[in-house]
Amino acid sequence: MIKKAKRADKIATIVICFFAMLIVAILVGLLGFIIVRGLGHINWHFLTSAPQMIRGGGGIGPQLFNSVFLLILTLIITVPLGWGGGIYMAEYAKPGKITNVIRLVVEVLSSFPSIVIGLFGLLVLVNAFGLGFSLLAGAMALAVFNLPLMVRTTEQAFRAVPKEQKEAGYALGLSKWKIITSILLPVALPSLITGTILASGRIFGEAAALMFTAGMSSPPLDFTDWNPLSSRSPINPLRPAETLAVHIWKVNSEGLAPDAKEIAAGASAVLVILILCFNLGARWLGRVAYRKFTAAKRID
pLDDT above 90 covers a percentage of the chain that reads 16
| CATH 1.10.3720.10, domain 40-299, yes or no | yes
pLDDT band, very low/low/confident/very high, at 190 (cuts 50, 70, 90): confident
Residue 34 near residue 238 (C-beta atoms within 8 A): no
Residues 266-288: b if buried by 16+ CB within 10 A, e if exposed? bbbbbbbbbbeebeebbeebbee
Residue 293 near residue 222 (C-beta atoms within 8 A): no
pLDDT recorded at residue 262: 86
pLDDT mean over 155-180 = 84
Instruction: Say yes or no to pLDDT of 22 above 90.
Output: yes
pLDDT recorded at residue 294: 63
> Domain limits of the chain?
40-299
Residue 193 is given by DSSP the state H
pLDDT band, very low/low/confident/very high, at 297 (cuts 50, 70, 90): low
pLDDT band, very low/low/confident/very high, at 137 (cuts 50, 70, 90): very high
Whole-angstrom Cα Rg for the chain: 23
State pLDDT tens for residues 41-58: 888 888 888 888 777 777
Instruction: Say yes or no to pLDDT of 95 above 70.
Output: yes
pLDDT band, very low/low/confident/very high, at 291 (cuts 50, 70, 90): confident
Residue 84's CB is within 10 A of a number of other CB atoms, namely: 13
CA distance 201 to 275: 5
